[in-house]
Amino acid sequence: MKTVWKPFWSYNVKKTEKWLQAKALQGEQLVDIKPLYRLFIFEAGNQPQAIQYHIAYQKKQHHKLPLLLH
């Protein structure tokens, strides 16, 4: 496993998508993302693949507090 820290990945989403595509062409498969820590985790040694990545944002869902915390 290879972990890459990209602190500003969300400031240029198109550039990040192209970077992920380049990694796939190098045989590094994206296996996990830790957005809170700005980490991308890859598995190296795979067959190069042409993968199209698209990053989309979702609105955060608001969770209601349990009744005991009101």
Average pLDDT over residues 41-63: 84
Domain boundaries, the chain: 2-57
Q: Assess whether pLDDT exceeds 90 at residue 41.
A: yes
State the pLDDT at residue 59. 73
Q: What angle do CA 46, 23, 7 make, to 5 degrees?
A: 130
56 pLDDT tier (thresholds 50, 70, 90): confident
User: What digits encode the pLDDT tens for the residues 24-38?
Assistant: 999 999 999 998 899
Rounded Cα distance between 37 and 30, Å, is 16
User: In this predicted model, what pLDDT tens digit does every residue of 14-27 receive, in sequence order?
Assistant: 999 999 999 999 99
Q: How far apart are CA 32 and CA 37, in angstroms?
A: 12
